[in-house]
Structure 1
Protein backbone atom coordinates (compact mmCIF):
# COMPACT_ATOMS: atom_id res chain seq x y z
CA UNK A 1 0.00 0.00 0.00
CA UNK A 2 1.42 3.36 -1.03
CA UNK A 3 1.98 5.92 1.69
CA UNK A 4 -0.31 8.98 1.46
CA UNK A 5 1.28 12.06 -0.07
CA UNK A 6 2.18 14.85 2.31
CA UNK A 7 0.71 18.32 1.88
CA UNK A 8 4.12 19.49 0.63
CA UNK A 9 4.25 16.72 -1.97
CA UNK A 10 0.73 17.53 -3.16
CA UNK A 11 1.59 21.20 -3.41
CA UNK A 12 4.70 20.39 -5.44
CA UNK A 13 2.69 18.25 -7.86
CA UNK A 14 0.09 21.01 -8.27
CA UNK A 15 2.69 23.73 -8.87
CA UNK A 16 4.51 21.50 -11.35
CA UNK A 17 1.24 21.18 -13.27
CA UNK A 18 0.81 24.96 -13.22
CA UNK A 19 4.34 25.46 -14.53
CA UNK A 20 3.74 23.03 -17.39
CA UNK A 21 0.35 24.55 -18.20
CA UNK A 22 1.85 28.05 -18.29
CA UNK A 23 4.76 26.86 -20.42
CA UNK A 24 2.32 25.30 -22.90
CA UNK A 25 0.49 28.61 -23.21
CA UNK A 26 3.76 30.41 -23.80
CA UNK A 27 4.66 27.99 -26.59
CA UNK A 28 2.03 29.77 -28.67
CA UNK A 29 3.53 33.17 -27.96
CA UNK A 30 7.27 32.65 -28.11
CA UNK A 31 7.63 29.19 -29.64
CA UNK A 32 9.77 26.46 -28.16
CA UNK A 33 13.01 28.30 -28.92
CA UNK A 34 11.79 31.38 -27.02
CA UNK A 35 10.56 29.52 -23.96
CA UNK A 36 12.33 30.44 -20.73
CA UNK A 37 11.99 29.51 -17.10
CA UNK A 38 12.13 33.16 -16.10
CA UNK A 39 9.15 34.10 -18.24
CA UNK A 40 7.13 31.20 -16.86
CA UNK A 41 8.08 32.17 -13.30
CA UNK A 42 7.12 35.78 -14.00
CA UNK A 43 3.65 34.81 -15.23
CA UNK A 44 3.09 32.62 -12.18
CA UNK A 45 4.32 35.31 -9.78
CA UNK A 46 7.21 33.13 -8.63
CA UNK A 47 10.72 34.24 -7.89
CA UNK A 48 12.91 33.21 -10.80
CA UNK A 49 15.17 31.31 -8.40
CA UNK A 50 12.22 29.30 -7.06
CA UNK A 51 11.26 27.72 -10.38
CA UNK A 52 14.68 26.07 -10.63
CA UNK A 53 13.67 23.85 -7.72
CA UNK A 54 11.13 22.29 -10.10
CA UNK A 55 13.05 22.36 -13.36
CA UNK A 56 16.80 22.71 -13.28
CA UNK A 57 17.01 24.22 -16.76
CA UNK A 58 15.04 25.27 -19.82
CA UNK A 59 15.97 21.93 -21.38
CA UNK A 60 14.43 20.04 -18.46
CA UNK A 61 11.21 22.01 -18.96
CA UNK A 62 11.22 21.25 -22.70
CA UNK A 63 11.73 17.56 -21.97
CA UNK A 64 8.77 17.55 -19.58
CA UNK A 65 6.62 19.27 -22.21
CA UNK A 66 7.68 16.74 -24.84
CA UNK A 67 6.92 13.81 -22.56
CA UNK A 68 3.53 15.25 -21.63
CA UNK A 69 2.57 15.97 -25.25
CA UNK A 70 3.82 12.64 -26.61
CA UNK A 71 1.88 10.93 -23.83
CA UNK A 72 -1.30 12.80 -24.74
CA UNK A 73 -1.10 12.09 -28.47
CA UNK A 74 -0.25 8.46 -27.67
CA UNK A 75 -3.23 8.17 -25.35
CA UNK A 76 -5.47 9.71 -28.01
CA UNK A 77 -4.33 7.10 -30.54
CA UNK A 78 -4.56 4.18 -28.12
CA UNK A 79 -7.92 5.29 -26.78
CA UNK A 80 -9.41 5.39 -30.28
CA UNK A 81 -8.40 1.81 -31.07
CA UNK A 82 -11.02 -0.87 -30.51
CA UNK A 83 -9.52 -4.34 -31.18
CA UNK A 84 -13.02 -5.71 -31.72
CA UNK A 85 -13.55 -3.68 -34.88
CA UNK A 86 -12.39 -4.35 -38.42
CA UNK A 87 -8.75 -3.39 -39.17
CA UNK A 88 -9.70 -0.50 -41.47
CA UNK A 89 -12.10 0.92 -38.89
CA UNK A 90 -9.39 0.72 -36.23
CA UNK A 91 -6.85 2.33 -38.57
CA UNK A 92 -9.14 5.22 -39.48
CA UNK A 93 -10.14 5.79 -35.86
CA UNK A 94 -6.49 6.12 -34.80
CA UNK A 95 -5.66 8.49 -37.66
CA UNK A 96 -8.69 10.66 -36.90
CA UNK A 97 -7.98 10.78 -33.16
CA UNK A 98 -4.39 11.79 -33.84
CA UNK A 99 -5.58 14.59 -36.12
CA UNK A 100 -8.17 15.77 -33.60
CA UNK A 101 -5.57 15.99 -30.84
CA UNK A 102 -3.21 17.87 -33.15
CA UNK A 103 -5.82 20.40 -34.23
CA UNK A 104 -6.68 21.04 -30.58
CA UNK A 105 -2.99 21.30 -29.55
CA UNK A 106 -1.30 23.06 -32.46
CA UNK A 107 1.65 24.46 -30.53
CA UNK A 108 2.34 21.15 -28.84
CA UNK A 109 2.20 19.45 -32.24
CA UNK A 110 4.79 21.96 -33.50
CA UNK A 111 6.97 21.15 -30.48
CA UNK A 112 6.79 17.42 -31.25
CA UNK A 113 7.12 17.48 -35.03
CA UNK A 114 8.24 20.97 -36.01
CA UNK A 115 11.61 22.65 -36.29
CA UNK A 116 14.14 21.34 -33.76
CA UNK A 117 14.94 23.73 -30.93
CA UNK A 118 18.50 25.10 -31.38
CA UNK A 119 20.86 23.73 -28.77
CA UNK A 120 18.41 21.20 -27.37
CA UNK A 121 18.89 17.45 -27.64
CA UNK A 122 15.95 15.36 -26.46
CA UNK A 123 16.91 12.55 -24.06
CA UNK A 124 16.03 8.91 -24.69
CA UNK A 125 12.94 9.07 -22.46
CA UNK A 126 11.16 11.14 -25.12
CA UNK A 127 11.76 8.42 -27.73
CA UNK A 128 10.07 5.88 -25.47
CA UNK A 129 6.82 7.84 -25.19
CA UNK A 130 7.02 9.02 -28.81
CA UNK A 131 6.54 5.42 -29.95
CA UNK A 132 3.05 5.03 -28.49
CA UNK A 133 1.15 6.52 -31.43
CA UNK A 134 2.99 4.69 -34.25
CA UNK A 135 2.97 1.46 -32.24
CA UNK A 136 -0.83 1.63 -32.21
CA UNK A 137 -0.81 1.50 -36.02
CA UNK A 138 1.71 -1.34 -35.87
CA UNK A 139 -0.50 -3.38 -33.54
CA UNK A 140 -3.48 -2.97 -35.86
CA UNK A 141 -1.37 -4.17 -38.78
CA UNK A 142 0.08 -7.05 -36.77
CA UNK A 143 -3.40 -8.18 -35.70
CA UNK A 144 -4.56 -8.10 -39.33
CA UNK A 145 -1.54 -10.16 -40.35
CA UNK A 146 -2.14 -12.78 -37.65
CA UNK A 147 -5.79 -13.13 -38.70
CA UNK A 148 -4.87 -13.47 -42.38
CA UNK A 149 -6.44 -10.12 -43.30
CA UNK A 150 -3.26 -8.43 -44.50
CA UNK A 151 -2.72 -8.31 -48.27
CA UNK A 152 -0.16 -5.65 -49.21
CA UNK A 153 0.01 -4.71 -52.90
CA UNK A 154 3.27 -5.10 -54.85
CA UNK A 155 5.82 -2.39 -54.32
CA UNK A 156 9.54 -1.65 -54.37
CA UNK A 157 11.75 -3.60 -52.01
CA UNK A 158 13.37 -1.92 -49.02
CA UNK A 159 16.95 -2.76 -48.14
CA UNK A 160 17.21 -4.08 -44.59
CA UNK A 161 20.06 -1.65 -43.92
CA UNK A 162 17.57 1.23 -44.22
CA UNK A 163 15.84 0.21 -40.97
CA UNK A 164 17.57 0.87 -37.67
CA UNK A 165 18.07 -1.91 -35.11
CA UNK A 166 16.13 0.25 -32.65
CA UNK A 167 13.09 0.18 -34.93
CA UNK A 168 13.29 -3.59 -35.26
CA UNK A 169 13.47 -3.90 -31.47
CA UNK A 170 10.43 -1.63 -31.08
CA UNK A 171 8.43 -3.93 -33.36
CA UNK A 172 9.84 -7.13 -31.86
CA UNK A 173 7.27 -9.90 -31.65
CA UNK A 174 5.10 -8.50 -34.44
CA UNK A 175 6.85 -10.60 -37.10
CA UNK A 176 7.01 -7.93 -39.78
CA UNK A 177 9.15 -8.29 -42.88
CA UNK A 178 11.51 -5.49 -43.86
CA UNK A 179 9.00 -4.24 -46.44
CA UNK A 180 6.12 -4.32 -43.95
CA UNK A 181 8.22 -2.39 -41.45
CA UNK A 182 9.17 0.16 -44.09
CA UNK A 183 5.54 0.66 -45.09
CA UNK A 184 4.56 1.27 -41.47
CA UNK A 185 7.29 3.89 -41.18
CA UNK A 186 5.93 5.55 -44.33
CA UNK A 187 2.39 5.51 -42.91
CA UNK A 188 3.53 7.09 -39.65
CA UNK A 189 5.46 9.77 -41.54
CA UNK A 190 2.52 10.40 -43.88
CA UNK A 191 0.20 10.79 -40.88
CA UNK A 192 2.50 13.33 -39.24
CA UNK A 193 3.17 15.06 -42.54
CA UNK A 194 -0.42 15.53 -43.71
CA UNK A 195 -1.39 16.95 -40.32
CA UNK A 196 1.57 19.31 -40.46
CA UNK A 197 0.58 20.50 -43.94
CA UNK A 198 -2.93 21.23 -42.70
CA UNK A 199 -1.83 23.01 -39.53
CA UNK A 200 0.67 25.22 -41.35
CA UNK A 201 -1.72 26.16 -44.13
CA UNK A 202 0.04 24.30 -46.92
CA UNK A 203 -3.22 22.76 -48.13
CA UNK A 204 -4.82 26.16 -48.74
CA UNK A 205 -6.14 26.37 -52.31
CA UNK A 206 -5.20 22.72 -52.70
CA UNK A 207 -7.88 20.75 -50.85
CA UNK A 208 -11.50 21.91 -50.52
CA UNK A 209 -12.19 19.60 -47.56
CA UNK A 210 -9.18 18.91 -45.36
CA UNK A 211 -10.96 16.21 -43.34
CA UNK A 212 -12.06 14.35 -46.45
CA UNK A 213 -8.57 14.50 -47.95
CA UNK A 214 -7.14 13.35 -44.63
CA UNK A 215 -9.43 10.30 -44.70
CA UNK A 216 -8.35 9.61 -48.29
CA UNK A 217 -4.72 9.72 -47.16
CA UNK A 218 -5.47 7.37 -44.27
CA UNK A 219 -7.23 4.88 -46.56
CA UNK A 220 -4.42 5.07 -49.12
CA UNK A 221 -1.83 4.28 -46.45
CA UNK A 222 -4.00 1.48 -45.07
CA UNK A 223 -4.21 -0.08 -48.53
CA UNK A 224 -0.46 0.25 -49.07
CA UNK A 225 0.08 -1.53 -45.75
CA UNK A 226 -2.23 -4.32 -46.84
CA UNK A 227 -5.31 -3.43 -44.83
CA UNK A 228 -8.47 -3.87 -46.89
CA UNK A 229 -10.35 -0.61 -47.32
Structure 2
Protein backbone atom coordinates (compact mmCIF):
# COMPACT_ATOMS: atom_id res chain seq x y z
CA UNK A 1 0.00 0.00 0.00
CA UNK A 2 1.52 3.33 -1.08
CA UNK A 3 1.96 6.28 1.27
CA UNK A 4 -0.54 8.48 -0.60
CA UNK A 5 -3.33 5.95 -0.08
CA UNK A 6 -2.52 5.53 3.61
CA UNK A 7 -2.37 9.30 4.10
CA UNK A 8 -5.67 9.80 2.27
CA UNK A 9 -7.37 7.18 4.43
CA UNK A 10 -6.07 8.65 7.68
CA UNK A 11 -6.93 12.21 6.66
CA UNK A 12 -10.50 11.16 5.90
CA UNK A 13 -10.69 9.24 9.17
CA UNK A 14 -9.58 12.34 11.10
CA UNK A 15 -12.37 14.32 9.45
CA UNK A 16 -14.80 11.61 10.58
CA UNK A 17 -13.45 11.90 14.13
CA UNK A 18 -14.54 15.54 14.18
CA UNK A 19 -18.10 14.64 13.17
CA UNK A 20 -18.59 11.20 14.67
CA UNK A 21 -15.89 10.60 17.27
CA UNK A 22 -13.85 7.43 17.54
CA UNK A 23 -16.88 5.25 18.26
CA UNK A 24 -18.47 6.31 14.97
CA UNK A 25 -15.47 5.49 12.80
CA UNK A 26 -16.07 2.81 10.14
CA UNK A 27 -13.93 1.53 7.28
CA UNK A 28 -16.89 1.56 4.91
CA UNK A 29 -17.63 5.25 5.48
CA UNK A 30 -13.97 6.19 5.23
CA UNK A 31 -13.64 4.30 1.94
CA UNK A 32 -16.69 6.08 0.53
CA UNK A 33 -15.50 9.56 1.48
CA UNK A 34 -11.83 9.23 0.56
CA UNK A 35 -12.49 7.91 -2.94
CA UNK A 36 -10.87 4.53 -2.30
CA UNK A 37 -12.41 1.13 -2.63
CA UNK A 38 -13.30 -0.77 0.50
CA UNK A 39 -10.72 -3.36 -0.53
CA UNK A 40 -8.01 -0.69 -0.64
CA UNK A 41 -8.93 0.55 2.81
CA UNK A 42 -9.00 -3.01 4.17
CA UNK A 43 -5.58 -3.68 2.62
CA UNK A 44 -4.13 -0.75 4.58
CA UNK A 45 -6.16 -1.22 7.76
CA UNK A 46 -7.76 -4.69 8.03
CA UNK A 47 -9.94 -3.70 10.96
CA UNK A 48 -11.38 -0.48 12.34
CA UNK A 49 -9.16 -0.85 15.40
CA UNK A 50 -6.06 -0.85 13.18
CA UNK A 51 -7.12 2.52 11.78
CA UNK A 52 -7.90 3.82 15.26
CA UNK A 53 -4.47 2.73 16.44
CA UNK A 54 -2.82 4.57 13.54
CA UNK A 55 -4.73 7.73 14.47
CA UNK A 56 -3.83 7.33 18.15
CA UNK A 57 -0.15 6.90 17.32
CA UNK A 58 -0.20 9.91 15.00
CA UNK A 59 -1.90 12.04 17.65
CA UNK A 60 0.60 11.12 20.35
CA UNK A 61 3.50 11.67 17.95
CA UNK A 62 2.21 15.03 16.73
CA UNK A 63 1.48 16.37 20.21
CA UNK A 64 4.77 15.06 21.54
CA UNK A 65 6.67 16.58 18.63
CA UNK A 66 5.05 19.97 19.30
CA UNK A 67 6.32 19.83 22.88
CA UNK A 68 9.78 18.70 21.81
CA UNK A 69 10.10 21.55 19.33
CA UNK A 70 9.05 24.05 21.99
CA UNK A 71 11.58 22.65 24.45
CA UNK A 72 14.36 22.64 21.88
CA UNK A 73 13.67 26.31 21.17
CA UNK A 74 13.48 27.28 24.86
CA UNK A 75 16.57 25.29 25.81
CA UNK A 76 18.43 26.78 22.84
CA UNK A 77 17.64 30.22 24.23
CA UNK A 78 19.07 29.14 27.62
CA UNK A 79 15.69 29.43 29.31
CA UNK A 80 15.28 28.26 32.88
CA UNK A 81 13.67 24.89 33.54
CA UNK A 82 10.51 26.69 34.67
CA UNK A 83 10.36 28.68 31.43
CA UNK A 84 10.94 25.50 29.45
CA UNK A 85 8.04 23.85 31.28
CA UNK A 86 5.76 26.75 30.47
CA UNK A 87 6.81 26.65 26.81
CA UNK A 88 6.14 22.93 26.35
CA UNK A 89 2.82 22.97 28.17
CA UNK A 90 1.70 25.94 26.11
CA UNK A 91 2.68 24.02 22.98
CA UNK A 92 0.59 21.04 24.04
CA UNK A 93 -2.32 23.34 24.83
CA UNK A 94 -2.12 24.92 21.38
CA UNK A 95 -1.98 21.52 19.70
CA UNK A 96 -4.98 20.38 21.75
CA UNK A 97 -7.10 23.35 20.69
CA UNK A 98 -5.97 23.00 17.08
CA UNK A 99 -6.84 19.28 17.04
CA UNK A 100 -9.71 18.76 19.50
CA UNK A 101 -10.95 15.53 17.90
CA UNK A 102 -7.51 13.94 18.12
CA UNK A 103 -7.07 15.26 21.66
CA UNK A 104 -10.39 13.63 22.54
CA UNK A 105 -9.26 10.37 20.96
CA UNK A 106 -6.19 10.09 23.19
CA UNK A 107 -7.34 11.89 26.34
CA UNK A 108 -11.13 11.79 26.26
CA UNK A 109 -13.60 9.00 26.90
CA UNK A 110 -12.39 5.55 25.75
CA UNK A 111 -13.82 4.19 22.51
CA UNK A 112 -16.11 1.29 23.43
CA UNK A 113 -14.58 -2.04 22.49
CA UNK A 114 -11.19 -0.58 21.58
CA UNK A 115 -8.09 -1.53 23.53
CA UNK A 116 -4.90 0.32 22.63
CA UNK A 117 -2.11 -2.10 21.71
CA UNK A 118 1.53 -2.00 22.72
CA UNK A 119 2.28 0.02 19.57
CA UNK A 120 0.83 3.10 21.27
CA UNK A 121 3.04 2.98 24.37
CA UNK A 122 6.19 4.54 22.92
CA UNK A 123 4.39 7.44 21.17
CA UNK A 124 2.36 8.06 24.34
CA UNK A 125 5.58 8.31 26.35
CA UNK A 126 6.79 11.37 24.42
CA UNK A 127 4.73 13.80 26.49
CA UNK A 128 5.89 12.59 29.94
CA UNK A 129 9.35 12.16 28.43
CA UNK A 130 9.57 15.88 27.70
CA UNK A 131 8.40 16.72 31.21
CA UNK A 132 10.89 14.27 32.72
CA UNK A 133 13.80 15.81 30.80
CA UNK A 134 12.89 19.26 32.07
CA UNK A 135 12.53 18.04 35.66
CA UNK A 136 15.84 16.21 35.33
CA UNK A 137 17.53 19.34 34.03
CA UNK A 138 16.07 21.36 36.91
CA UNK A 139 17.35 18.80 39.40
CA UNK A 140 20.81 18.78 37.86
CA UNK A 141 20.90 22.56 37.62
CA UNK A 142 19.87 23.15 41.23
CA UNK A 143 16.58 24.78 40.26
CA UNK A 144 14.35 22.65 42.51
CA UNK A 145 13.34 23.54 46.05
CA UNK A 146 13.24 20.53 48.42
CA UNK A 147 9.67 19.40 49.12
CA UNK A 148 7.98 19.86 52.49
CA UNK A 149 6.27 16.47 52.30
CA UNK A 150 7.95 13.20 51.36
CA UNK A 151 6.22 10.09 50.07
CA UNK A 152 5.20 8.05 53.13
CA UNK A 153 6.82 4.64 53.13
CA UNK A 154 8.53 3.03 50.13
CA UNK A 155 8.56 4.61 46.64
CA UNK A 156 5.19 4.45 44.87
CA UNK A 157 6.75 3.68 41.52
CA UNK A 158 7.10 0.76 39.17
CA UNK A 159 10.72 -0.05 38.24
CA UNK A 160 10.09 0.98 34.63
CA UNK A 161 9.23 4.53 35.72
CA UNK A 162 12.45 4.83 37.70
CA UNK A 163 14.45 3.45 34.78
CA UNK A 164 12.82 5.86 32.34
CA UNK A 165 13.83 8.80 34.54
CA UNK A 166 17.40 7.53 34.76
CA UNK A 167 17.33 6.26 38.32
CA UNK A 168 15.95 7.28 41.67
CA UNK A 169 17.15 10.77 42.67
CA UNK A 170 18.86 11.16 46.05
CA UNK A 171 17.25 12.79 49.09
CA UNK A 172 15.72 15.29 49.53
CA UNK A 173 14.43 14.78 45.98
CA UNK A 174 13.88 11.04 46.11
CA UNK A 175 10.16 11.46 45.35
CA UNK A 176 10.58 13.84 42.43
CA UNK A 177 9.41 11.17 39.97
CA UNK A 178 6.13 10.73 41.84
CA UNK A 179 5.76 14.51 41.88
CA UNK A 180 6.48 14.62 38.16
CA UNK A 181 3.65 12.17 37.54
CA UNK A 182 1.35 14.44 39.57
CA UNK A 183 2.46 17.35 37.37
CA UNK A 184 1.79 15.32 34.21
CA UNK A 185 -1.68 14.27 35.35
CA UNK A 186 -2.44 17.86 36.38
CA UNK A 187 -1.47 19.07 32.91
CA UNK A 188 -3.73 16.59 31.14
CA UNK A 189 -6.62 17.26 33.53
CA UNK A 190 -6.26 21.00 33.01
CA UNK A 191 -6.34 20.52 29.23
CA UNK A 192 -9.44 18.34 29.49
CA UNK A 193 -11.15 21.11 31.43
CA UNK A 194 -10.16 23.75 28.89
CA UNK A 195 -10.68 21.82 25.65
CA UNK A 196 -14.07 20.57 26.82
CA UNK A 197 -15.04 24.05 28.09
CA UNK A 198 -15.27 23.20 31.77
CA UNK A 199 -13.71 26.51 32.86
CA UNK A 200 -15.24 28.99 30.40
CA UNK A 201 -17.98 30.07 32.82
CA UNK A 202 -15.66 30.59 35.78
CA UNK A 203 -12.41 31.92 34.33
CA UNK A 204 -12.09 35.33 32.69
CA UNK A 205 -8.86 34.62 30.75
CA UNK A 206 -8.37 30.91 30.10
CA UNK A 207 -4.91 31.33 28.59
CA UNK A 208 -3.64 33.28 31.59
CA UNK A 209 -5.35 30.81 33.92
CA UNK A 210 -3.58 27.94 32.17
CA UNK A 211 -0.19 29.55 32.78
CA UNK A 212 -1.10 30.20 36.41
CA UNK A 213 -2.27 26.62 36.90
CA UNK A 214 0.97 25.24 35.44
CA UNK A 215 2.95 27.49 37.79
CA UNK A 216 0.93 26.23 40.76
CA UNK A 217 1.33 22.59 39.69
CA UNK A 218 5.07 23.11 39.23
CA UNK A 219 5.36 24.26 42.83
CA UNK A 220 4.60 20.67 43.75
CA UNK A 221 7.99 19.61 42.40
CA UNK A 222 9.72 22.69 43.75
CA UNK A 223 10.05 24.42 40.39
CA UNK A 224 9.40 28.12 39.81
CA UNK A 225 7.60 28.94 36.56
CA UNK A 226 8.12 32.59 35.61
CA UNK A 227 4.88 34.38 34.69
CA UNK A 228 4.31 37.81 33.22
CA UNK A 229 4.11 40.32 36.04
CA UNK A 230 6.16 38.26 38.50
CA UNK A 231 8.36 40.46 40.63
CA UNK A 232 11.26 38.06 40.16
TM-score, normalised by the number of residues in structure 1 = 0.90
User: Deviation at 1:156?
Assistant: 5.0
Distance 1:26 1:158 in 2: 47
Distance 2:191 2:208 in 1: 13
What SS class does the counterpart of residue 157 from structure 1 fall into?
coil
Q: 1:39-77 CA deviation, whole Å, 9 max, x = no partner?
A: 100101222122111111111101100110100000011
1:95 aligns with 2:89: yes
1:74 aligns with 2:64: yes
- Aligned partner of 1:20 in structure 2 is 10
Structure 2 unaligned regions, length at least 5 = 226-232
Aligned in 2, Cα 1:116/1:178: closer, same or farther, shift over 3 Å?
Answer: farther
User: Deviation at 1:152?
Assistant: 3.6
* Aligned partner (choices 96, 101, 108) of residue 102 of structure 2: 108
The answer to whether the 8 A contact 1:180-1:225 is kept is yes
Matches within 5 A, 1:179-190: 179-190=175-186
Q: CA RMSD for the aligned pairs?
A: 1.7
Structure 1 unaligned regions, length at least 5 = 1-8
- Aligned partner of 1:196 in structure 2 is 192
- Aligned partner of 1:119 in structure 2 is 113
Matches within 5 A, 1:1-229: 12-81=2-71, 82-83=74-75, 84-157=78-151, 159-160=153-154, 162-173=156-167, 175=169, 179-229=175-225
User: Deviation at 1:173?
Assistant: 4.4
User: Deviation at 1:169?
Assistant: 2.8
Q: Figure out how many residues of one structure are paired with residues of the other and give that number.
A: 219
What SS class does the counterpart of residue 75 from structure 1 fall into?
helix
Moved more, 90-99 or 153-162: 153-162
- Aligned partner of 1:4 in structure 2 is none
TM-score, normalised by the number of residues in structure 2 = 0.89
Distance 1:137 1:182 in 2: 12
